[in-house]
Amino acid sequence: MPELPEVETIARTLAPQVVGRTITSTHILRPASLAAGTALVPALAGGRIQHVARRGKLLTLGLAPAGSAGAFPVPVPGLPPAALYLVFHLKMTGSLFVHSPDAAPGKHTRLMFDLCRNGVAESRLFFNDIRTFGYCRVMAPEDFAAWKFFTSLGSEPLSTDNQNIAKALGHGKMRIKAALLDQRRLAGVGNIYADESLFRAKIAPQTKTADLSRTALLRLAASLKAVLQQAVRECGSSIRDYRDAAGNAGAFQNSFMVYGRKGEKCKICESPLQCSNVAGRTTIHCPRCQKQS
């Protein structure tokens, strides 16, 4: 599933294609893909897209009503202000692409939004999702307070200092891999960047958080940020069919030290990498390099 670097890349590549455009109509091909229901769908019409943002693995489009001066009384923590939001969770296979205004839906198209600029039909935003685990929510700013998944999201690792990342990860009885994946502690980390940051910090994924020293937690915080920053610079990791909203693949998969390398040799010590199940997820690590606590 797209993690922080991939969603950030999709947001950055989608923004120039949709910001400033007005939604003229919404086509619902699969109603269940609208997780918050359809009540606010009519309110999308005439809304102008102000910004594309990311919170954790969520991608948001913020809208202002036609002719609005841009003053929005209800702020949403962690998101730029807007009168109405389209919130996408891409999950396993969700994707967002902009096509020509008359493009026909594909087999896996779940939603389409017609966009116009200066009164002229310009394009059509597609939400495609093969496995249908992804969703879109149409939300007013005041709706976010009642959405527990959103309000319980932890801090953004790239804008949190190492001390606070160490604090967010270093409590409780979880294994450190599970703590990294826990979106309530830090938002946006998934299987790829959990395994890669643990390798770089030389920490075994099954180590209990309580058994990690402060030094180890700070090293992990620094590794996590370095890995995420590099992945954002390289436009994410393309495994399976991930593409950004401009249709380009990412390049960070070329820097994987452990993820997806089951049975291969460690790039540092040449020991065979070990595959195990931690926190219900396939986990790859080097038993020789990842021993520190």
CB of 66 to Zn ion, least distance (A): 58
Q: Which x/- pattern, by CB under 5 A, does the window 88-117 give for Zn ion?
A: ------------------------------
Using CB under 5 A as the binding rule, whether residue 268 contacts Zn ion is answered as yes
Catalytic residue (one of 2, 141, 157, 205): 2
Given the complex with Zn ion, which of 210 and 269 has the nearer CB atom? 269
Using CB under 5 A as the binding rule, whether residue 266 contacts Zn ion is answered as yes
Q: Is 270 among the residues known to form the active site? A: no
Binding region for Zn ion (CB under 5 A) out of 9-17, 107-115, 151-159, 259-267: 259-267
Given the complex with Zn ion, which of 201 and 286 has the nearer CB atom? 286
- Which residue is at the shortest CB distance from Zn ion? 266
Q: Is 3 among the residues known to form the active site? A: yes
Binding region for Zn ion (CB under 5 A) out of 40-48, 131-139, 168-176, 269-277: 269-277
Instruction: Take residue 30 and report the two structure tokens written for it.
Output: 């699969």
CB of 258 to Zn ion, least distance (A): 9
What's the CA gap between 198 and 288, in Å, rounded?
13
CB of 227 to Zn ion, least distance (A): 17
Given the complex with Zn ion, which of 211 and 270 has the nearer CB atom? 270
What's the CA gap between 193 and 223, in Å, rounded?
10
Catalytically annotated residues: 2-3, 57, 281
